[in-house]
Amino acid sequence: MSMVIKPDLLSTDSLKSRYEKLAIKRHPFLERSRECAELTQPYLMMRPGQTQFVTPWQGIGSRGVNNLAAKLLLALLPPNSPFFRLVVQEAELVDVDPKLKLHVDEALTQCERLLMTEIETGAMRVGVFEALKHLIVTGNSLIYLVPEGGIRVFHLDQYVIRRDPAGHALEIIVHEKVDRTFVDLPLDSLGIDKPSSSDQTTVDLFTSITWQDDRWHVLQEVGGVLVPESKGTYPKDCSPWLALRFIRVDGEDYGRGLVEEYLGDLKSLETLTKAIVEGSAAAAKVLFLVKPNSTTKETVLAEAPNGAIRSGNAEDVTVLQVQKYADFRVARETMEHMTQRLSYAFLLNSSIQRQGERVTAEEIRHMAGELEDALGGVYSILSQEFQLPLILRLMHQMERRGLFPKLPKGMVRPMIVTGLEALGRGHDLLKLQSFVGDLASLGQALPEILMRINPEELIKRLCIARGLDAQGLILSEEELMQKQAIQQQAQMQAQAPMLPGLPIT
């Protein structure tokens, strides 16, 4: 039996004080995320009061974050293809006519197109890409699905969260600073004074989302005053607030980012890059030295134009050299090794192909598959905390707006078909394709090998690996025999000799 913890919705504490209490537990995660952002993309998480960005000396961190976020975006929201399927519970289709099941599948396919159209027209990819970058760097991101369409992304320094031991969100409080002119509430009736010329033009807006009694309860507080009109509830699986994590750690309310796992390499690469850049700048400086009391004068050497002829002794003039090439070489080689490790971590294309004259396409595909497998855990957590809740919320919103048919409750459910599930089917497909290729090559030399293969079973497994429904697509044994009999009869009629004088039937 799972433990159930119910937060006190009727607490006398204001949302501001409650936010400040929970922010104490968030502090170490926030500091860690700021440290990670400074080495990758500093604008993602700035320090309080910071007005200037910290510019990293290396760019591999920022490049890796953009590359991995783009890969995840294509995996979670693939263009021109649904990342989910609406399926009917198997228990409901035990005694259903296959023709009726085909009509049901066609209707559900149309519903899937409606949902995908909503995603494409709602410009969600921009917000999801921003959220993915925050997940990679800070490990946390809060998404709000706007009822009118679109996505708002809240950063880790804008919200606090409390989870139960199983990792489910129990309480979320969002803090925003909103301009008074954008607050669509009668502030005078709430006891908030009108701003004068010397007052601040913003007010603190706190939004609380709390899980209690199998529903989500939401309310807001503006300027320290609770807004009665803001109270509302959401159904269990239809909350527009999605608290995402990149890496889940049992017992922690906040997630961990990928950058944190490679923070040591990023720090070392930052230090080495800075040393090499500054050392290279010092080594590039050209400085001539003239021996004291020599016949060659400094002013004559400094004022002489290029190609001029002057009297002097070449041995009196030397060029100052750093002579640190060996030290720079050690630092450069170490920096290249760290760059290679980070390229593997962020799935950069440069890390896939090894250095060599002969690198086969099969080797590149194999290495790329190994790198993609490393994201299996990320796919699994994002499919449960992002993809599935996103579809459930969109179905709820579109039903209320009359843009989606009302489906029987508990009979139809969405099933994610990308991410980890697609990875598994992709590996099965590659294995089957390699197996069929081996059979084709061996069958030319040993035809008896092909006689041992069950074609029907092979076709079924290929359909499963492709994610296709084999029902109605593959002929049964009886249907195959009937088809073969018809073909044989037609062939016999075509080959039968026609006798003269007899009508052709």
- Cβ atoms of 338 and 265 closer than 8 Å: yes
Summarised one tens digit per residue, pLDDT across range 356-368 is: 555 555 555 555 4
Q: Is the Cβ–Cβ distance between 329 and 272 less than 8 Å?
A: no
Domain coordinates in residue numbering, the chain: 15-164+239-261+375-400, 263-351, 421-491
Helix 98-121 / helix 388-400 crossing angle, nearest 10 deg = 90
pLDDT the model gives residue 294: 83
Q: Identify which of 177, 156, 174, 178 has the alpha carbon closest to the alpha carbon of residue 45.
A: 156
Q: How many CB atoms lie within 10 A of CB 243?
A: 23
Mean pLDDT of all residues in 209-216: 92
Q: What is the pLDDT of residues 71-120, one digit of tens each?
A: 888 878 887 677 888 888 765 555 555 556 666 777 787 888 888 888 88
Q: What is the pLDDT of residues 296-341, one digit of tens each?
A: 888 888 888 888 888 888 888 888 888 888 888 898 899 999 998 8
Instruction: List, for residues 368-423, the tens digit of each pLDDT value.
Output: 455 556 666 677 788 888 989 999 898 888 888 888 888 777 778 888 876 545 54
- In whole numbers, what is the pLDDT of the chain averaged over residues? 79
For residues 343 and 376, is the Cβ–Cβ distance under 8 A? no
Cα–Cα dist 302/287, whole Å: 11
Radius of gyration of the chain (CA): 34
Using CB atoms within 10 A of its CB, is residue 257 exposed (0-12), middle (13-18) or buried (19+)? Answer: buried
